[in-house]
């Protein structure tokens, strides 16, 4: 396996390269549905089934967050699920990573300012840091639903096998 | 999302709120929006998912209110050639008042 490309440290001052080197082997994933419509969940299933077959890369779905390195988070995080997400993520051993899959998890999608949702993972991340829960790395995978290829690409970005292609752009009309 | 700040209007596009239905591309009168098959959008930094477009905006020559982007104004001027320039420089409210004044001869 190649060396991770990201050498920067995250906001908590954790050396990302060093943390990533600890999950150099197989990445075990845990799936958290936080009020998703099941579109992204089906795409995750697609990724795990023989057509895309990510188990050949060592990515394996586990039943408990205690066994997982990476959480596959789908949905806009409803108020009801927030405490469960907190508990699941705090049960994960360090380094813990999150792959926010789908537009809902990235920015809340059409529920971004709904009364019953947090409005995406970035907002939940702020609340987690206030509550003292540290997340070592987050990768956002937009898409409605995110394509299986996009999810695999997101996982590769997390492991440093791929550089992110999207950058902030500003145009003058 | 549109935000106006001073002399510029910013059109903000955030992929994290897009459901990729393609309705915008279908209804865009200028055919400026296009749906691609690009999917490699994953990133660790949420701000990479934003795209901003800056538009210069025009202020009303009477009340000073900003009301239209310069680009759109020029486009309208091109399509409606017999529109006087003075009318084009007015915001909809002032334009209404001015037209009424011209027809009725309302004294101040």
In SS3 terms, chain A reads as CCCCCCCCECCCCCEHHHHHHCCCCCCEEEEEECCCCCHHHHHHHHHHCCCCCHHHHCCEECCCHHHCCEEEEECCCEHHHHHHHHHHHHHCCCCCEEEEEHHHHHHCHHHCCCCCECCCHHHHHHHHHHHCCCCCEEEEECCCCCCHHHHHHHHHHHCCCCCCCCCCEEEEC
pLDDT number for residue A20? 66
Residue A23 above 70 pLDDT?
A: no
Alpha-carbon torsion (B73, B79, B83, B85), positive or negative: positive
Residue B49 above 60 pLDDT?
A: yes
Give the pLDDT band of residue A16 (cuts 50, 70, 90).
low
More confident residue, A9 or A62: A62
Q: How many domains does chain B have?
A: 1
Taking CA atoms, what residue in B is nearest to A105? Answer: B16
pLDDT number for residue A135? 85
The distance from CA A61 to its chain's CA centroid, rounded to whole angstroms, is 14
pLDDT number for residue A7? 43
Query: Chain B interface, mutation test: which of A141, A168, A170, A172, most B Cβ atoms within 10 Å?
Result: A168
- Cβ <8 Å between B42 and A137: no
Cβ of B14 under 8 Å from any chain A Cβ?
yes
Domain range list for chain A: 25-158
Q: Span B25-52, mean pLDDT?
A: 84
Q: Of the candidates A3, A2, A8, which has an alpha carbon nearest to the alpha carbon of residue A137? A: A8
Cβ of A56 under 8 Å from any chain B Cβ?
no
Q: Span B28-56, mean pLDDT?
A: 84
More confident residue, A21 or A99: A99
H helices then E strands: how many in chain B? 4, 4
Cβ of B33 under 8 Å from any chain A Cβ?
no
Residue A8 above 60 pLDDT?
A: no
Rounded Cα distance, B45 and B49, in Å: 8
Q: What is the pLDDT of residues B75-92, one digit of tens each?
A: 888 888 887 777 788 888
Residue A15 above 70 pLDDT?
A: no
Residue B45 CB neighbour total at 10 angstroms:
13
- Cβ <8 Å between B40 and A150: yes
Rounded Cα distance, A114 and A104, in Å: 12
Cβ of A172 under 8 Å from any chain B Cβ?
yes
- Cβ <8 Å between A170 and B51: yes
More confident residue, A4 or A131: A131
What does pLDDT average to over chain B? 83
pLDDT number for residue A165? 81
3-state secondary structure of B45: coil
Q: Span A34-53, mean pLDDT?
A: 90
- Cβ <8 Å between A106 and B15: yes
User: Alpha helices of chain B — where are they, by DSSP H?
Assistant: 23-27, 70-79, 85-88, 92-104
The C-alpha of A54 sits at a distance from chain B's nearest C-alpha, in angstroms, of 17
Taking CA atoms, what residue in B is nearest to A123? Answer: B46
Q: Which residue has the tokens 């949702």?
A: A117
- Cβ <8 Å between A147 and B39: yes
What does pLDDT average to over chain A? 83
Residue A21 above 80 pLDDT?
A: no
Q: What is the CATH number of domain A25-158?
A: 3.40.50.12280
In this complex, which of B18, B44, B71 lies closest to A103 when CB atoms are compared? B18
The C-alpha of A18 sits at a distance from chain B's nearest C-alpha, in angstroms, of 17
Residue A4 above 50 pLDDT?
A: no
Domain of residue B21: give its range.
2-104
pLDDT number for residue A74? 92
Structure tokens at A32: 């958290």
Rounded Cα distance, A143 and B35, in Å: 13
Q: What is the pLDDT of residues A156-173, one digit of tens each?
A: 888 877 787 878 888 887
3-state secondary structure of B75: helix
């Amino acid at each position: 396996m190649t060396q991770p490309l990201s050498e920067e440290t995250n906001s908590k001052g954790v050396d990302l390269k060093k943390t990533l080197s600890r999950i150099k082997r197989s990445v075990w994933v845990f799936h958290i549905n936080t009020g998703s419509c099941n579109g992204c969940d089906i795409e995750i299933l697609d990724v795990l089934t023989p057509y895309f077959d990510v188990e050949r890369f060592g990515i394996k779905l586990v039943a408990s967050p205690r066994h997982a390195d990476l959480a596959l988070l789908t949905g806009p995080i409803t108020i009801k699920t927030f405490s469960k997400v907190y508990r699941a993520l705090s049960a994960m051993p360090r380094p813990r990573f999150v792959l926010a899959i789908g537009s809902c998890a990235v920015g809340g999608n059409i529920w971004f300012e709904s009364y019953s949702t947090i409005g995406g993972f970035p907002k939940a991340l702020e609340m987690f840091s206030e509550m003292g829960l540290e997340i070592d790395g987050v990768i956002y995978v937009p898409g409605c639903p995110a394509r299986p290829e996009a999810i695999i690409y997101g996982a590769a970005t997390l492991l440093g096998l791929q550089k992110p292609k999207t950058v902030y752009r500003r145009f003058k009309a | 999302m549109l935000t106006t700040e001073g002399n510029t209007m910013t059109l903000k596009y955030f992929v994290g709120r897009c459901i990729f239905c393609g309705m915008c591309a279908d209804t865009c009168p200028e055919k400026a929006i296009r749906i691609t098959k690009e999917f490699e959008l994953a990133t660790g930094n949420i701000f990479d998912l934003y795209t901003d477009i800056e538009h210069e905006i025009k202020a009303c020559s009477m009340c000073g209110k900003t009301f239209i982007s310069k680009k759109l104004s020029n486009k309208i001027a091109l399509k409606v050639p017999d529109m006087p320039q003075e009318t084009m420089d007015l915001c909809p409210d002032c334009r209404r008042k001015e037209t009424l004044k011209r027809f009725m001869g309302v004294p101040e």
